Amino acid sequence: MVVGRRFRRSESFPAPKSAAKSAFRARCISLPSRSHPFAAHLADDLQSLRSWPRSPSSSDAVHWICDGLARLHLLLASLSDVLQLPQAQDPLRRGRRRSPALADRLLDDFLRLADAHGSFRSATLALKHDLAAAQVAVRCRDERRLACCLRAQRRARKELAELAAAAREVKKRPQPCSATRAAADAEEAEVARVMGEVVAVAAEASAAVFLGVAEMAAAASAAAAGMGPSRFAWGKAGLRWGARATSKPPNKKASPEAKKEEAAAGEEEEEEKWRRTTLERLGKAEEGFPSLESAGELVFKSLVNVRVALLNVLTPAL
């Protein structure tokens, strides 16, 4: 009986063994599909930045831009952290020995992005000052000062458009992994591929942010650009005609002076309405720039940290 029981137990083993064997096979099959720890560490942040819409879905452009900058900062901060791990440093160093041009390309790409975001910080600061000066000009009815502010805003928007084009150029450059895929081992190729994806996604998001800020500033100053010096002069002339007409007695039939007075009053009301609308738009845009500045500062520092970490990994110790 004891032997029988042993025999029956032995018959019960094949099912668990086969299940364990199949589970082991499934685990082995899943290993190649799992990313290198370097890629796994960045997968969520990469997907988050990819899913960020490249244009605002609502009128709140400031929130949309800050959201994109925050996602970009998280990706770069994660990259800076993972570059401290041996699993990332060893393949990068081996790739440096195999192809120094690859390492130089990565360093150059992050330098270009850091320079672009450094210039972005200067452009946003200039736009903030121009918006504040434009509000003062509108309140004081200073035509010349308003015209200077609008020209300065156009220059800043042009600079932002050029920065967006420079960021797109970084994205269009050949991916680093494609140059050494045949010569590199699997680990090197995976790390190089992920680095290329980070550069491409960061460049695309940066271009969208730069253009978004330019469009936001353009929308804020569009109303101010619609009121030229001629309309200011027209309003002042109407006010003078109105002052003259008030000294004369009214007639039952509308006199030319009364018509001019009515036109001057309508012009004054239109100008006051324009002033309120323009001040509201300019003020709302200016209020969003402090958050843009802080978010841009974080991204710039993250880019600098990534490039320093890459230099430490790729530059041989003296």
Each residue's pLDDT tens digit, 37-86: 777 889 999 999 999 988 776 668 889 999 999 999 999 999 999 999 88
Question: pLDDT above 90 covers what percent of the chain?
Answer: 33
Q: What is the dihedral of CA 97, 103, 104, 105, to 10 degrees?
A: 140
In sequence order, what are the residues at sequence separation of 6 or more whose Cβ sits closer than 8 angstroms to the Cβ of residue 105?
A: 173, 176
Q: Which two tokens stand for residue 269?
A: 């009301």
Each residue's pLDDT tens digit, 237-284: 434 444 444 444 545 455 666 655 666 566 667 777 777 888 888 888
CB of 306 closer than 8 Å to CB of 77:
no
Q: For residues 240 and 155, give the distance between their C-alpha atoms in angstroms, rounded to a whole number.
A: 37
Looking up tokens 């993972």 gives: 82
- Fill in the DSSP letter of residue 316: P
Q: Is 62 exposed, middle or buried (0-12, 13-18, 19+ CB in 10 A)?
A: buried
State residue 189's pLDDT score.
83
State residue 208's pLDDT score.
95
Each residue's pLDDT tens digit, 7-39: 444 444 334 444 444 444 444 333 344 556 777
Residues belonging to the chain: 318
- Fill in the DSSP letter of residue 226: T
State residue 308's pLDDT score.
94
**Chain centre to alpha carbon of residue 309:** 23
State residue 13's pLDDT score.
36
Q: Which two tokens stand for residue 51?
A: 């899913």
In sequence order, what are the residues at sequence separation of 6 or more whose Cβ sits closer than 8 angstroms to the Cβ of residue 12?
A: none
Q: Give kind and range of the element (H or E) at residue 84.
A: none
State residue 285's pLDDT score.
80
Each residue's pLDDT tens digit, 223-236: 666 654 444 443 44
Q: For residues 266 and 254, give the distance between their C-alpha atoms in angstroms, rounded to a whole number.
A: 16
Each residue's pLDDT tens digit, 118-175: 999 999 999 989 888 888 888 888 888 888 888 888 899 899 999 999 999 998 876 5
Q: Which two tokens stand for residue 291?
A: 């958050």
Looking up tokens 């790409």 gives: 109
Q: For residues 137 and 275, give the distance between their C-alpha atoms in angstroms, rounded to a whole number.
A: 10
* One-letter identity of residue 12: S
In 52-180, which residue ranges form alpha helices assigned H by DSSP? 61-82, 86-98, 100-140, 143-172, 176-179
Torsion sign, CA atoms 194, 200, 205, 210 = positive
Each residue's pLDDT tens digit, 282-305: 888 888 889 999 999 999 999 999
CB of 203 closer than 8 Å to CB of 168:
yes
Torsion sign, CA atoms 195, 196, 199, 202 = negative
State residue 134's pLDDT score.
86
State residue 86's pLDDT score.
87
